[in-house]
Structure 1
Amino acid sequence: MIKNSLISWVLLTVSYYSIAEETWRGLVVEQENRCSPYNKKAQYPYPQSVEDEIVASMGGVVYGPYTGSYFESDTDTDIEHIVAASEGHDSGLCAASDEMRVQFATDLLNLTLAAPVVNRCNVGGKCGYDAGEWMPEKNQCWFSNRVLQIKTKYRLSVDRNEAEVLERTLSACSSFEMIFYPHSELGNSDQEDDKQRSPLEMYDDNNNGRISCSEAKKHKITPVLSQHPAYQFMRDSDGDGIVCEN
């Protein structure tokens, strides 16, 4: 009897820790799964007028938080889903009702603005990637927290890499508010040229071939994750994929 009780206790303990290892901050950790066909326009529609609501939610400025860029008009930006429709679909909404999918597509919690070059499938563009595959240049803390909020609200899953990247980012954050960076004196065309410059040209102020934390902080790109182009020129002493956490 004691032996059987001990075995049962061990099995229950193993089962508990197995379940615990499969969740992160209340979200199920599992691989993405397209359990039903995906059609963004048909399943995740939203009116163009929602763009006005996004602008209003940011105090009336046309602002792209991913790059800290301001625009003359929302005709220069795309409506951007922070958790992409395809990512949401493959993380649980493939089994959701039509009403739930529309709610997800029109929820201001999940909406922001981004320049087309950032939002679409260009080199370095977001292109439906999850947070483990793509992080914005700026406002990483706000972005990561929004992903967590959205996935929690709609009971979506995360894959293991996404959970690890989000945890590293969130644990290094002191605030999750959207940062409105100072207006750049560059015009839009100059901003596009800026995206083509190498990280050393942009952030290596003393031209020594490396980017220090002080330089990264000066340019407001900290914490720097492994996905950021500056990371390859920085020293990650503990090898955790993130530098300049503090």
Structure 2
Amino acid sequence: MKNAVRALALVGCLALIGAGLSSASATPVPTATPSVADAKRASTISAKTLLKRLTVRSETRAGYARAKFGRGWKAQGKGCDTRAVVLRSESKSRTTQTRNCTIKRGKWRSQYDGRVVRRASKLDIDHRVPLAEAWDSGAKKWTKKTRIAYANDLGYAESLVAVTARSNRAKGDGDIAQWLPSKSRCSYAARYVAVKYRWRLAVDKREKRAITRVFSGCGRRGLKVAKPGRASVKTGGNSAPAPPPSSNDPRFGTCGVAIAHGYGPYYRGRDPEYSWYIDRDRDGIVCER
């Protein structure tokens, strides 16, 4: 009942941080979900069912830039931002914070590697489906307001997750065909699919095959997720239309220039752009971020 846990931590603006506050802070944590009752009533569904409902189509990263999803975490009220809300809701113990709602200490178990962390500075808030992957699979057509809502999605507990900085950096912008955590792979894949379904994002053929392989080794219980409500998605805005699936990205002189323009990474055997650049570490990937 992770959704219920998050709702309990977020509902109302009168909840105080409690004992152990630093700098005599008593900043309440903002509301992020409609009500605790709504969260408790949330039904579950098999991620296999949700996977069947996802559109399968080719993806392209042309035009991606982090700023198109907003600049940093969105303010959620009372001096707190999205990061603070997630850290507060996922901590297994009382958290401490500064006067400006920077969470300092608590107790978290990173889903991706199982490590227990007590200092918030050692954690990243990960987008279960990375922003660049969301762009590839549909978000390039959204309005900027919708992309900002996606980047700060507190309405579904699986969208954002506190994990160790090391595991998050290892994941980077990878989809499931490119990266899986060392722990709880069934749960990770199931929740990844749930977020894609919530935001009407597509999968490409390689990605769907990778998800199916993970699911084949999971029991029925391991693929149950809280049924995600469909997010409000509006298209339009200032995004250029995606190029046809058969077209290649622009060719740059170096990977550094390509990355600066929002392109890459490219994978050996999959992306024709791979041959344009030097794979210095011979890992089959060029222009990785």
Provide the TM-score with structure 1 as the length reference.
Answer: 0.56
Aligned match of 1:98? 144
Aligned match of 2:166? 117
Flag the 1:176–1:50 CA change in 2: closer, same or farther, 3 A: farther
8 A Cα contact 2:73 2:83, kept in partner: no
Alignment of 1:74-153 (within 5 A): 74-108=120-154, 109-120=158-169, 125-153=170-198
Alignment of 1:1-246 (within 5 A): 25-34=52-61, 37-44=63-70, 45-47=72-74, 49-60=81-92, 61-108=107-154, 109-120=158-169, 125-174=170-219, 175-176=222-223
Flag the 1:72–1:59 CA change in 2: closer, same or farther, 3 A: closer
The secondary structure found in structure 1 opposite 2:202 is: coil
1:153 partner letter: R
1:42 shift after superposition: 4.2
8 A Cα contact 2:68 2:144, kept in partner: no
1:24-44, Cα deviation, whole Å (9 max, x unpaired): 511111221236x22213424
Partners of 2:58 and 2:167 lie apart in 1 by 25
The secondary structure found in structure 1 opposite 2:171 is: coil
Partners of 1:51 and 1:27 lie apart in 2 by 29
8 A Cα contact 2:51 2:193, kept in partner: no
8 A Cα contact 1:93 1:156, kept in partner: yes
1:46 shift after superposition: 2.0
- Tell me which of the two structures has the higher relative contact order, counting C-alpha pairs closer than 8 angstroms and 6 or more residues apart: 2
1:76 shift after superposition: 0.7
Flag the 1:177–1:115 CA change in 2: closer, same or farther, 3 A: farther
Aligned match of 1:185? none
Partners of 1:50 and 1:133 lie apart in 2 by 27
8 A Cα contact 2:123 2:165, kept in partner: yes
The secondary structure found in structure 2 opposite 1:46 is: coil
1:80 shift after superposition: 0.9
Partners of 1:66 and 1:99 lie apart in 2 by 29
2:61 partner letter: R
1:81 partner letter: H
Let me know the Cα RMSD of the aligned residues: 2.3
Provide the TM-score with structure 2 as the length reference.
Answer: 0.48
The 4+ residue runs of structure 1 with deviation greater than 4 A are none
Flag the 1:126–1:147 CA change in 2: closer, same or farther, 3 A: same
8 A Cα contact 1:51 1:74, kept in partner: no
2:204 partner letter: D
Partners of 2:112 and 2:224 lie apart in 1 by 13
Partners of 1:171 and 1:50 lie apart in 2 by 35
Deviates more, 1:169-178 or 1:159-168: 169-178
1:66 shift after superposition: 0.2
Aligned length: 151
The structure whose Rg is larger is 1
Higher relative strand content: 2
1:49 shift after superposition: 2.8
